[in-house]
Amino acid sequence: MMEEFATGIVEDYHAARCPAVHHPRLSRGTARVVSSLVEERFAHWLLARYPAIDRICVDQGLSFPGRALCKPDVVVIRDSKIVLLVDLKMDLGWLRDLNGLPSLATKAAELLTQCSESRCTASVRTENSAVQRDRPALQLSPICEYVLLVLSGKNINPMLRDQVLEAARKVHTRVHSLVLWPGVHPNDPKYQTVDAAVEALRHGISEQAVEELDLVAQRVLS
């Protein structure tokens, strides 16, 4: 199941290096962004791994009373309650200082504590429709947890990475900062084929991160 997720990510990265429309005199310099596809693949992995999930909304705007619109990458719903929120980062190469990830963790913690049991409005697309939407009655569960999931621990100075993760993990007991592949990047150019990259990801997976995800899911879906 995780290998299917890893394979999809690598295939997305490889496909993003080439134009989506083909012509013999057309090429790309910079690859397309793949994060939106990866959000959907991760949501699919969650649904397959945890059958108790009723629904997942990806990149879904949520409006709570008295707060600006928030848009987590992944919103996990069970029994009309939001039980898990996930933000995905491909890596930490975007960080410029120690405050980046801890700041996100702080905002996540504020949402969990200030909006616990609050109802929210969300305009959710109906299944298989690009146009129709409904507005389900949703509530933020008092046991909701928030995961900041970094796919790769590469593309950043290891010392800065460890310091940032340590600081983010101290923010709140229900906000979790995890790295799925600490020493491997699915877009590393040294892997010339999809198979080579997937094999590296298979060996480089953090079992600890997967176990912590399982524990989080068990708590919020029990």
Specify whether the backbone of 173 is left (phi greater than 0), alpha (psi in -120 to 50) or beta: alpha
Query: Is the pLDDT confidence value at 94 over 90?
Result: no
How far is it, in rounded angstroms, from Cα 43 to Cα 118? 24
214 vs 191: CA distance, rounded Å: 29
Cβ atoms of residues 181 and 205 within 8 Å? yes
Q: What is the pLDDT of residue 139?
A: 96
Q: Quick check: 127 pLDDT over 80?
A: no
Percent of the chain at pLDDT exceeding 70: 100
Q: How many C-beta atoms surround the C-beta of residue 40 within 10 A?
A: 16
Q: Are strands 138-152 and 81-89 parallel, antiparallel or unpaired?
A: parallel
